[in-house]
Structure 1
Amino acid sequence: MHVLVTGGAGYIGSHTVRELLKVGYRVTVLDNLSRGHKAVARIISGAEFIWGDIGERELVEEILRTREIQAVLHFAALSLVGESVADPARYYQNNVVKGIILLEAMRAAEVPYFIFSSSAAVYGEPVTVPIDEEHLCRPTNPYGATKLVVEEALRWYATAYRLKYISLRYFNAAGADSSGDLGEDHRPETHLIPVVLQAALGVRREVTIYGTDYPTPDGTCLRDYIHVTDLAKAHVLALQALVAGHPSSVYNLGNERGYSVREIIRTAEQVTGRKIPVVEGFRRPGDPAVLVASTRRMKEALGWRPQYSELATIISTAWHWLQRHTEGYADI
């Protein structure tokens, strides 16, 4: 089976490409490298890499037709919450408008299966914890809102055009491939675990804790972290389920456990053997105290089980990668 992975040179996309290849899929990657990395094409052998944009309708349709693509796994989206608030137009253009262009190209080429990289940001402020898929969706930022718009479009496309899809709502992706050659390299980096490890390495001067007065055991926010390889394998499992006749659906992906900012820093110190400099700051607007997933639906319906659920394991794999890539990928 030949699949197209959009955004496959990025963090989660590249790990998913590797897992797809491991189980025997033919893979073509389409990435404009606005957030992805050219180095990924050298690291992952076996996939065809095409430098292009999902908004180029003719290019996308040509790829789908000439390579007889049967499924699309869609990761090509902008994903920085703060950036989305500052420039919502950019996020709606890239995530929504180009997402619809991709769906239309699929419809024209009669590609039936679609796996969507969604986000827990669709939920907004949690009313109940853990958060299940029936929780009210009321995004508090444009990034989450754009993901929800595409999810709603998928529901109607499935009804009208017989598209089959699975939308995967991630909580906090973290870690790196166990080989140490694929990892997390955002520029700028905003995710907590790599920021903490950069401070341990000396690449970053310190870690700022945004808020120490939350109603949590140690006063800092609790978040649900999931290893990127577990995420990648969930995408493969979702694709296999669709092809086997599983109905279109939406699933959360997390570990069903929250770790505080202080726990992340403490565990990172244990893993690295280094003291991490910390400063305490004020709360950031819109940061909920606790975000933890319920993944019961995914486990019961598709038999998914995370293999790298221990926090020390997640941080260890990220540290292994960062030590080998102190300045990130060497894109040349």
Structure 2
Amino acid sequence: MTWLVTGGAGYIGAHVVRALRAEGLPVVVFDDLSTGAKERVPDDVPLIAGSVLDGELLTEVLREHDVAGVVHMAGKKRVDESVAEPTFYYRENVEGVRSLLDAMAAADVRRLVFSSSAAVYGMPEQEGLVREDVDCRPLSPYGQTKLAGEWMVRAQGLARGLAFANLRYFNVAGAAEPALGDQGAFNLIPMVFARLDAGRPPLVFGTDYPTPDGTCVRDYIHVADLATAHAAAARRLAGDPQAALTLNVGRGAGVSVLEVLTAVAAATGLDTTPEAAARRPGDAPSVVAAADRIAAELGWHAEHDLAAMVDSAWAAWQARRSSGAAGATGAAGAASAAGSAGSPNPSGSP
């Protein structure tokens, strides 16, 4: 049973490709390489360069490779960019899903794992863990596009008999190996690394939240665990043509910004004493996944803790720095307002 992974040359996608192959599943990667890298794709995995907006090419690829299921990860993911360029995000993320669903229908492919995001929740009103049935009120165009994608997938499931799993990622971090590390400086941990490389303290936006140490609390998940969640979803869809799942992918454990900085200090040996800044609009005090549904439905749970995430992320950052790749990205991240220790995106990066 061959799986097509759109966005399979990206940070998360490359890990998913390896998790599927570890299950013995043939994989084909479809990526426009705008942020992905060919080097991330194993030499024996077919890589087709193209946009998911090209429905004819997608249909051709699905048929040519006899694809039985799709993991859809291609899309744009930066909250700040989505606020500045909302129509661009709607085109890439919403029209991209529509184009893919039509191509799958044309090629009679009836299994889809959809990369969604905890950004669909916005700022949850209830206290405690965020459950999948909470009212979704995304705060950004990015979160809106992910929720719209879920709606389309669910509607297509009813109309076409599509088995699906919408996976809502929380904050993603770490690397299974240094070569697969996050190449951007837009997620919390690499943003902190970028600040430290520039000789500047991490920024903490808000120290007076109603949390144990006054800083925002989020659910962080190792990218390798996220990848095995996709493999578990693929197994479920392969055996259950009626599957219609919407699942959080997180550890069910909250970590504060200051706790992340402590872990970074332990991994790097560097001083991570932060610089405090004012709160930013839209930052919820705490967003932590309820992870019981994914355990019940897929038999999956996260295995890596925060220390493993930070240690592996630091090893990947050092490898990029030694190759000269981290310099430009790190400097840009450190110089920007995004070089903070508090993310406006409760989901991290889908």
TM-score of the two chains, using structure 1 as the length reference: 0.94
Q: Which amino acid aligns with 2:222?
A: H
Give the superposition deviation at 1:203: 4.6
The CA deviation string for residues 230-270 of structure 1, in whole angstroms up to 9 with x for no partner, is 00000000010011116211000111111111111111101
Give the superposition deviation at 1:277: 5.3
Distance in 1 (alpha carbons) for counterparts of 2:317 and 2:226 = 20
**8 Å CA contact 2:40, 2:179 repeated in 1:** no
Q: Residue in 1 aligned with 2:101?
A: 103
Equivalent position to 2:212, from 199, 213, 217 = 217
Q: Residue in 2 aligned with 1:125?
A: 123
In terms of mean alpha carbon deviation, does 190-199 or 102-111 score higher?
Answer: 190-199
1:313 aligns with 2:312: no
Change (3 A) 1:328 1:131: farther
**8 Å CA contact 1:6, 1:31 repeated in 2:** yes
Distance in 2 (alpha carbons) for counterparts of 1:148 and 1:210 = 27
The CA deviation string for residues 107-154 of structure 1, in whole angstroms up to 9 with x for no partner, is 000001000000001111112220011111111111111111111111
Q: Residue in 2 aligned with 1:115?
A: 113
Q: Which amino acid aligns with 1:11?
A: Y
In terms of mean alpha carbon deviation, does 274-283 or 295-304 score higher?
Answer: 274-283
Partner of 1:325, secondary structure, is helix
Partner of 2:237, secondary structure, is helix
Identity of aligned residues (%): 42
Give the superposition deviation at 1:45: 3.3
Distance in 2 (alpha carbons) for counterparts of 1:256 and 1:292 = 6
How many residues are aligned here? 323
1:70 aligns with 2:65: no
Distance in 2 (alpha carbons) for counterparts of 1:277 and 1:302 = 40
Give the superposition deviation at 1:301: 1.6
Give the superposition deviation at 1:329: 7.6
Q: Which runs of 5+ in 1 are unaligned?
A: none
Partner of 2:67, secondary structure, is coil
Q: Which amino acid aligns with 1:99?
A: V
Q: Residue in 2 aligned with 1:171?
A: 170
Q: Residue in 1 aligned with 2:226?
A: 231
Backbone CA RMSD of aligned residues = 1.5
**8 Å CA contact 2:232, 2:298 repeated in 1:** yes
1:35 aligns with 2:31: no
The CA deviation string for residues 176-229 of structure 1, in whole angstroms up to 9 with x for no partner, is 11x32211112xx221111123334x2563321111111111111001000000
Equivalent position to 2:86, from 81, 85, 88 = 88
1:143 aligns with 2:142: yes
Distance in 2 (alpha carbons) for counterparts of 1:100 and 1:136 = 24
Matches within 5 A, 1:187-266: 189-200=185-196, 202-203=197-198, 205-245=200-240, 247-266=243-262
Q: Which runs of 5+ in 2 are unaligned?
A: 328-350
Change (3 A) 1:255 1:316: same
The CA deviation string for residues 289-310 of structure 1, in whole angstroms up to 9 with x for no partner, is 10100010000121102111x2
Change (3 A) 1:91 1:204: farther
Partner of 1:70, secondary structure, is strand
Distance in 2 (alpha carbons) for counterparts of 1:185 and 1:262 = 23
**8 Å CA contact 2:317, 2:326 repeated in 1:** no
Give the superposition deviation at 1:322: 1.0
Distance in 1 (alpha carbons) for counterparts of 2:315 and 2:135 = 38
1:7 aligns with 2:7: yes
Q: Residue in 2 aligned with 1:161?
A: 160
Give the superposition deviation at 1:70: 0.6
Runs of at least 4 residues of structure 1 off by over 6 A?
none
Change (3 A) 1:301 1:8: same
Change (3 A) 1:94 1:302: same
**8 Å CA contact 1:168, 1:252 repeated in 2:** yes
Q: Which amino acid aligns with 2:30?
A: L
TM-score of the two chains, using structure 2 as the length reference: 0.89
Distance in 2 (alpha carbons) for counterparts of 1:170 and 1:233 = 13
Q: Which amino acid aligns with 2:284?
A: P
Partner of 1:139, secondary structure, is coil
Distance in 2 (alpha carbons) for counterparts of 1:322 and 1:235 = 25
In terms of mean alpha carbon deviation, does 4-13 or 320-329 score higher?
Answer: 320-329
Change (3 A) 1:204 1:303: farther
**8 Å CA contact 2:9, 2:36 repeated in 1:** yes
Give the superposition deviation at 1:285: 1.0
Q: Residue in 2 aligned with 1:284?
A: 280
Distance in 2 (alpha carbons) for counterparts of 1:89 and 1:204 = 37
**8 Å CA contact 2:75, 2:96 repeated in 1:** no
**8 Å CA contact 1:4, 1:29 repeated in 2:** yes
Equivalent position to 1:301, from 270, 277, 297 = 297
Distance in 2 (alpha carbons) for counterparts of 1:158 and 1:276 = 48
